């Protein structure tokens, strides 16, 4: 069965470069795993969340992608360059279909 695309490529119109990291190198700097340059559905918004240290964090935008932008990575961490700004990935979600495939990816940016 083919599942409907909740974020079709037709609504992804904003260019974005997402740099995903995977741990740190020997100098303590983030190790770049992959750089994804694609189009997304970008929504600037404001909201509050609580991080792992129980501190309030304000996020400023969300980016939606059709499908999985990095299937080889378990956790999506890093930053995104969009509309001339560099934003840090605060949270990432992969919405799955009932058969286990990824329908869309959402990045919460701050």
In order of their start, the domains of the chain are: 9-109 (2.40.10)
Q: Given pLDDT bands bounded at 50, 70 and 90, which one contains residue 55?
A: confident
Give me the mean pLDDT over the 38-44 stretch.
93
- The residues, ordered by sequence, that sit 6+ positions from 71 with a Cβ below 8 Å of its Cβ are 102
Give me the mean pLDDT over the 71-94 stretch.
92
pLDDT at 17 exceeding the cut of 90 = yes
Question: pTM value?
Answer: 0.84
Token digits of residue 97: 């279909």
User: Strands, DSSP E only, in the chain?
Assistant: 14-24, 30-50, 56-66, 77-82, 85-96, 102-109
């Amino acid at each position: 069965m083919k599942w409907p695309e909740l974020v079709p490529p037709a609504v992804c119109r904003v260019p974005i470069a997402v740099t995903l990291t995977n741990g740190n190198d020997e100098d303590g700097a983030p190790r770049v795993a992959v750089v994804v340059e694609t189009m997304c559905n970008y929504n600037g918004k404001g909201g509050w969340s609580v991080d792992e240290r129980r501190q309030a964090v304000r996020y400023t935008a969300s980016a939606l992608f059709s499908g999985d932008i990095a299937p080889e990575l378990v956790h999506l961490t890093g930053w995104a360059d969009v509309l001339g700004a560099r934003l840090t990935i605060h949270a990432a979600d992969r919405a799955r279909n009932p058969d286990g495939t990824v329908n869309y990816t959402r990045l919460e940016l701050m």
